[in-house]
Amino acid sequence: MRTRIHPYPAAVLATIRRRRLLSPGDRVLVALSGGPDSTALLAALAELRDTGCLPSTGLAALNVDHGLRPGGAEDAAAASAICERLGIPFEAVRVTVAPGNVQSEARRARYAALRAAATRAGATRIATGHTRTDQAETVLLRLMRGAGARGLSGIPPRRGPIVRPLIDRSREEGLEYLAARGIPWRADPTNATPRFARNRLRLELWPALTALAPAAERAIARAADLAREDERALSRLARALAGDGASVALETLRGATPAVRRRVVRRLWARATGQRGSLEARHVEAILSLVRRERPGKVTLPGGRLARCRYGRLELLPSERAPEAGTLAPIEVRGPGRYALPEHRCAVEIECLREGAVPWPLALRTRRPGDRWRPDGGRGSKTLKRWLIDRKVPRERRDGLVLLARGAEVVAIPELAAVGSGFGPTGAGLAVHLVSDP
C-alpha cells in the first residue's frame, strides 16, 4: 500500500469532497472505454482506495462496445488488463445503437448498459471520465447554438447516480498522471475525424483560442459553474410557481420574469411528456405568445402534443391523438425495458437502479376505480382520482393516462414522469418515461 499519494488523485479527492460526489459505503461502477480520461479516472480512484483515502469505497468497471468501429474487442481487452493490474472487477458488454443521431443514440445505449451493470454489481454510483476539457468544449458548442443558462451550465458534476470526479481536472493532467504511473491507454481514431462538431472544435478552434487566452479552459469551466448556480436559483422559482400539477394559472405566469416563465413551461412539458430535450426555444416562445394573449387558444407542439390556454390556466396535454378512455389492454411488465403501446402511438421506457426493490411483475394499463396513489416524497395515500383532481388534470385526460401498477397500487405515471413512494432515487431508483413511437 502506498503511503504517498500523487497530486492528481489528491486533486480528484478534493473534487469528490467539495462537490459531494460520493458518500461513505458507496460502490462505484467506472465507465471504462480504455481511453486516457476513463483510464485516469479508474487509476485515480484505485490509488485513493489503496492509500486509504476512500477506505470503504468499492470499485468495479464496465467497458461498452457500441459496435460502431473496428477495435472494440481490443479496447475491451486493454481495459480488462488495466483492471486486472489494479485489482478491480471488470465486465464488457456490446450494445446495439438505434438509428438516428449516432452520438445521441450511442450515449443512450451506453448509459442504459451502465445502469444495468450497476444493478448487477450492486453499485450506488456510476463514474464517468468527463474532464474540465470536456466541460469547456461542451459550453462552447452550446454557446454557438445559442443556449441559455441551463445549456451553458455544461456537464453537471452529479446527476442522480452519475458522478464525474474529473470535472475539475484537464485532460492534459490525466495524461501526465498516466505517464507517471506507467499505465497504458487506447486512442480512439474517431477523435481525429472532422465528421463531428466537437472534433472540429478540438482540432481547429481550440488551439487558436488557447493561444489567445491560455487560461480559457479553466475560465469557461468556471463560467459553467456560475451558470449552473443561476439555473438552480431560477429553477427553484419556476418549481414554486408550477407546483406539481398539470397546469398553471395564467395570472401567476404573467407576473413572473421571462426567464422564470420559460422554465415553468419546460417543467410543464417534462411533466406532461416525460421528456426535456425535444421542446425547442421556438416552441417555448410560441407558448409564451399564447400566454400573453387575452383570449383562449392553443399551440401544437412536437409529437402532436398541445399547449392550451383556457379558463385562466395554461395546460400542456400529452397528445391530440390520445385514445379513448379504457382502450389500453393491460401489458405485463417483468422488468426494465421498452414497452410499445400501439394504441397510444407511443412507448414506455422503464429503467431501474435497484430491480430487487420493485415488486415485479407490474402492469401497464389505464385508470380503474379504486386505484390508490402516493407520490414519492408525498404524505399519505389517496385515490388516484382525487390526486388528479387536486392537480387539476382535465377530466378528458384522466382516463387516458397510462399507469404502471400492481393491483390497485399505482407505481408510476409515465406521462407525468412521477413515481410512487419508495420507488424514487432514494428507493428503487425507478425511472418511467413515455416516449414517441410512431
The 10s digit of each residue's pLDDT in 365-400 is 988 888 899 988 777 778 888 888 877 776 667 777
5: its cell numbers:
499519494
In three-state secondary structure terms, 428 is coil
In three-state secondary structure terms, 98 is coil
φ, ψ at 204 (rounded to 5°): -110, -50
pLDDT-derived band at 277 (thresholds 50, 70, 90) equals: low
Task: List all residues 6 or more positions away from 153 whose beta carbon is below 8 Å from its beta carbon.
Answer: 224, 225, 227, 228, 230, 231
Kindly report the number of other CB atoms within 10 A of residue 159's CB atom: 9
Task: List all residues 6 or more positions away from 10 whose beta carbon is below 8 Å from its beta carbon.
Answer: none
Cα separation, 407 vs 229, in Å, equals 42
Selected residue with higher pLDDT from 116 and 2 = 116
Read off the pTM.
0.70
Rounded mean pLDDT, 167-177: 97
Closest CA to 345 of 215, 435, 234, 248: 435
- The answer to whether residues 97 and 67 touch, using CB atoms and an 8 Å cutoff, is yes
β-pairing verdict for 346-352 and 430-436? antiparallel
pLDDT > 50? residue 50: yes
- The answer to whether residues 83 and 89 touch, using CB atoms and an 8 Å cutoff, is yes
pLDDT > 80? residue 272: no
pLDDT-derived band at 190 (thresholds 50, 70, 90) equals: confident
Cα dist. 365→196, 324, 331, 333 in Å? 42, 13, 7, 10
Closest CA to 293 of 254, 321, 263: 254
Q: Is 295 exposed, middle or buried (0-12, 13-18, 19+ CB in 10 A)?
A: exposed
φ, ψ at 203 (rounded to 5°): -90, -30
pLDDT-derived band at 253 (thresholds 50, 70, 90) equals: very high
Q: Is 257 exposed, middle or buried (0-12, 13-18, 19+ CB in 10 A)?
A: exposed
Q: Roughly what angle, to the nearest 10 degrees, separates helices 171-181 and 7-18?
A: 130
Cis preceding-peptide flag for 361 (omega within 30 of 0) = yes
pLDDT-derived band at 60 (thresholds 50, 70, 90) equals: very high
Cα separation, 295 vs 290, in Å, equals 9
Rounded mean pLDDT, 114-120: 94
Please give the full DSSP string across 304-361, using - where no structure is assigned: G-EEEEETTEEEEES-TTPPPTT----EEE-SSEEEEEGGGTEEEEEEES-GGGS-S-
Selected residue with higher pLDDT from 266 and 304 = 266
First to last CA, the chain: 57
In tens, the pLDDT along 404-417 reads 999 989 999 988 87
pLDDT of residue 322: 42
Longest dimension (CA), the chain: 73
In tens, the pLDDT along 4-32 reads 899 999 999 999 999 999 998 899 999 99
Q: Is 230 exposed, middle or buried (0-12, 13-18, 19+ CB in 10 A)?
A: middle
In tens, the pLDDT along 218-239 reads 999 999 999 999 999 999 999 9
pLDDT > 70? residue 3: no
Rounded mean pLDDT, 145-172: 94
pLDDT of residue 399: 76
395: its cell numbers:
377530466
